[in-house]
């Protein structure tokens, strides 16, 4: 869902949450005795803070759902009533990403959310199943109960890199946290799973064939096809609402130096996600075409409900690599519009299946901390 969906390119500036980053440690809570967490119902913006900037004409009735910690990859249930997301908050005993879900509250009401993952290992990229009773997510818990170690970036010249933990596999769990099925079994990184509109197919990212590619699995039979075949990272993929297309983020190293760096990092289960563009293809992987050509990091793409326009996050306006804002664009690369307008981090946009609301994650209204929180808003055309 984008990450692959991410934890924080802000190690070198400010911190933002990404699907695979976190603080290595053992999670202290146990799944079965974890109490629901309740976010405050009243929002009080501090000096210089706000939850809604006046230039954000497409957003109305913005509501902050979480308060504190790194909260990211928040995605809707099929009935547009619930949110599932990943959360890190060391002060709350959550030292690396774990999965939570909760019902979207009425305006002015608190957001009550509960853990789904067990607290073992690190988790990422959660998504509701069509039945609303199960959730899929990736986890490293089969490798170890502890959080996996983060890479030493000093070894790579302080370059921003993501670890591709080879203990990640994708699981299906019920809302009580019981894992009912393991969906992937390959040796290597399997994560970033999302589902087709009919809930029958999963698209996900894996490096099992030697590169970081996209695969589509039939959930009933387990049969799958590989839908990307070009050197570079392919991840954070979604189906279009009509099920006819897929959209994702990709790096495409071209020069000898870029190819060598990419392959050298991949050999160490690492990837540098600082140059990514948005790509679209038919659902079978045919007719691949690049949507953005901005340079920098263009990622977390998803289709509007019309399956034509695209919403995504990008730092393309800022050559230093920060801030990130949310933009919309046509599939042919025309009509770029800026949706969010603040100077920190906005990303992970997803429209509710009924098309009425949008969820996103942001550093706004965090009191000058590095916290990333989940927000929802009514969408205004």
Q: Is residue 230 part of a domain?
A: yes
Tell me the C-alpha distance between 124 and 190, whole Å: 11
Domain tally for the chain?
A: 1
Alpha helices in the chain (DSSP H): 256-267
Closest alpha carbon to 192 in 200, 101, 240, 184? 184
pLDDT value at residue 33 = 46
Return the number of other C-beta atoms located less than 10 Å from residue 156's C-beta: 16
pLDDT value at residue 35 = 58
Return the number of other C-beta atoms located less than 10 Å from residue 53's C-beta: 15
Q: Is residue 3 part of a domain?
A: no
Q: Is residue 129 part of a domain?
A: yes
Q: Is residue 1 part of a domain?
A: no
pLDDT value at residue 18 = 38
What domain range includes position 282? 9-379
Q: Per residue in 91-108, pLDDT tens?
A: 999 999 999 999 999 998
Tell me the C-alpha distance between 1 and 275, whole Å: 17
According to DSSP, residue 331 is labeled: T
Question: How many Å from the N-terminal Cα to the C-terminal Cα in the chain?
Answer: 23
pLDDT value at residue 301 = 98
Q: Is residue 142 part of a domain?
A: yes
Tell me the C-alpha distance between 276 and 267, whole Å: 20
Q: Per residue in 264-277, pLDDT tens?
A: 999 999 999 889 99
Q: Is residue 19 part of a domain?
A: yes
pTM of the model: 0.90
Tell me the C-alpha distance between 200 and 365, whole Å: 38
CATH number at residue 132: 2.120.10.30
Contact 374, 83 (CB under 8 A): yes
Give the residue ranges of the chain where pLDDT is below 50: 1-33, 43, 47
């Amino acid at each position: 869902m984008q990450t692959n969906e991410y934890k924080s390119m802000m190690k070198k500036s400010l911190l933002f949450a990404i699907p695979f980053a976190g603080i290595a440690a053992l999670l202290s809570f146990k799944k079965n005795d974890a109490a629901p967490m309740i976010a405050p119902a009243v929002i009080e913006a501090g000096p210089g803070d706000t939850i809604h900037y006046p230039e954000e004409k497409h957003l109305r009735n913005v509501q902050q759902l979480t308060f504190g910690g790194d909260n990211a990859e928040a995605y809707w249930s099929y009935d547009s009533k619930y949110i599932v997301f990943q959360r890190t908050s060391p002060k709350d005993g959550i030292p690396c990403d774990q999965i939570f879900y909760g019902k979207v509250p009425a305006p002015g009401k608190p957001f009550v959310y509960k853990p789904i993952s067990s607290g073992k290992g690190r988790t990422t990229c959660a998504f509701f199943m069509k039945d609303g009773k199960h959730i899929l997510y990736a986890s490293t818990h089969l490798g170890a109960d502890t959080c996996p170690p983060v890479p030493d970036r000093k070894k790579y010249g302080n370059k921003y890199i993501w670890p591709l933990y080879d203990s990640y596999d994708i699981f299906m769990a019920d809302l009580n946290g019981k894992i009912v099925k393991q969906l992937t079994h390959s040796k290597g990184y399997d994560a970033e799973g999302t589902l087709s509109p009919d809930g029958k197919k999963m698209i996900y990212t894996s490096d099992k064939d030697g590169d970081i590619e996209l695969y589509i699995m039939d959930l009933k039979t387990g049969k799958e096809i590989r839908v990307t075949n070009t050197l570079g990272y392919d991840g954070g993929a979604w189906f279009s609402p009509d099920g006819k297309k897929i959209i994702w983020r990709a790096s495409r190293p071209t020069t000898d130096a870029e190819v060598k760096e990419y392959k050298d990092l991949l050999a160490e289960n690492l990837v540098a996600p600082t140059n990514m563009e948005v790509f679209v293809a038919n659902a079978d992987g045919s007719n691949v075409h690049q949507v953005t050509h901005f340079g920098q990091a263009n990622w977390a793409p998803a289709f509007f409900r019309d399956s034509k326009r695209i919403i995504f996050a990008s730092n393309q306006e800022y050559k230093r690599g920060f801030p990130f804002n949310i933009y919309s664009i046509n599939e042919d690369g025309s009509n770029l519009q800026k949706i969010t307008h603040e100077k920190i981090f906005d990303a992970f946009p997803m429209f509710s299946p009924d098309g009425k609301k949008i969820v996103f994650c942001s550093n706004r209204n965090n009191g000058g901390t590095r916290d990333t929180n989940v927000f929802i808003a009514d969408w205004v055309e």
